[in-house]
Structure 1
Amino acid sequence: MSMSDVMLTGYDVLLRHWTEHDAPAMVELFDTPDIAYRTPLPSPFDLAAAQEYLRMIQRTQAGGRRLHFAITVDGRQPRGEVLLNLETSSLGYGLGAAYRGQGLAARAVRLITEHAHRTLAMPRLYAQIEPDNHASIAVAQRVGFQLTDEAPDRVTDKGRTYELLTWVHAA
């Protein structure tokens, strides 16, 4: 079984790989000011950007470098994304605005965290979160991530410079 065949289920979510048919849904989910502000995704995130993102996902998954999952509750309609960088043991997540506040992100992050520890034998997972991203911090804390004492990483992206704090989850 290849990594692209993996589907994860539990906690009332189903994580599945993105397909080319998801491009319009990606636009709906990711073409928002808050996603543009908090993530490295291009803005505007139009259909061409979604198709390029899908090609990048295919390359990194085929190369064994990352796993990108659409967050769903029914296996069909994407509500967000959770990704796992297999080289850095780091993860990221984001939900469409209509799906926030339902515990969906925490359930998806818990599911991929358990998969990383149990199936992929990754002893630690990391998340880098801006200090003022309270929603993302709440998700990390709910799943059991702990803030490290590492110095913040300073990042410049899209003309904005900001700091990222490192959170860790140990198996």
Structure 2
Amino acid sequence: MDRISSLTGYGLTLREWADDDLAAMVELFDDADVADRTPLASPFDLAAARAYLERAREAQAAHQRVQLAITTDGTEVKGEVRLNRLKGTISYVVGAAHRGQGLAVRAVRLMTDLARQDLGYARVALEIEPDNAPSIAVARSAGFRLTDAEPEVVEGERRSYTLCTWVLDLS
């Protein structure tokens, strides 16, 4: 399948990151909550943004990920949503100033639609820490269910992450 550069639906326009988005990336990702819940660099400065954008472009070119900025107007970036094409997992970050607007749920639904309709996935998953109430609410709102699989412990640079698997069957 060709590279996916944009998706629209649910009141969102998901689009590829652009060079002009570096400052917005810093604003979104240089946040204590993001640093605590993700393996992103912290502090997240312009150098980290440049490196992140390069890795995103490489992963998209290699068809490993679909990694798109979340916008409501095609311009102002409010977060990011990613589909790991190798694992069938979706992840997301919404900037602090934009939380509570249902952006994550809508972005997950749009990425789920892509996985089902265009990529032919039978199932997608979210990996969420058991104490991450906002992400658990997103999972439930988007129709995902918690599996009984043993949580996976992933070692990050700053700490270990215990991740529970939430799935949505697409067939």
The alignment's TM-score, normalised by the length of structure 2, stands at 0.96
2:20 matched to which residue of 1? 21
Equivalence map 1:1-171=2 (5 Å) = 2-4=2-4, 6-171=5-170
Following superposition, the deviation at residue 159 of structure 1 comes to 3.3
Following superposition, the deviation at residue 45 of structure 1 comes to 0.4
> Would you say how many aligned residue pairs link Structure 1 and Structure 2?
170
AA aligned to 2:32 is P
Q: For residues 14 and 143 of structure 2, what CA distance do their matches in structure 1 show?
A: 20
Q: For residues 153 and 87 of structure 2, what CA distance do their matches in structure 1 show?
A: 17
Question: Could you say what secondary structure the match of 1:3 adopts?
Answer: coil
Following superposition, the deviation at residue 161 of structure 1 comes to 2.1
Kindly, what percent of the aligned residue pairs are identical?
Answer: 51
Question: Could you say what secondary structure the match of 1:121 adopts?
Answer: coil
Task: Report the aligned-residue RMSD.
Answer: 1.1
Q: Could you list the per-position Cα deviations for residues 69-126 of structure 1 after superposition, in whole angstroms to 9, with x for gaps in the alignment?
A: 1000000010000000001001100100010011111011111101111111011101
Q: Which runs of 4+ in 1 moved over 4 A?
A: none
Q: Could you list the per-position Cα deviations for residues 22-75 of structure 1 after superposition, in whole angstroms to 9, with x for gaps in the alignment?
A: 111000000001100100101010000000000000110000100101000000
Q: Could you list the per-position Cα deviations for residues 98-156 of structure 1 after superposition, in whole angstroms to 9, with x for gaps in the alignment?
A: 10011111011111101111111011101100001000110011001110110000122
AA aligned to 1:85 is N
Q: For residues 22 and 84 of structure 1, what CA distance do their matches in structure 2 show?
A: 20
5+ residue gaps, structure 1: none
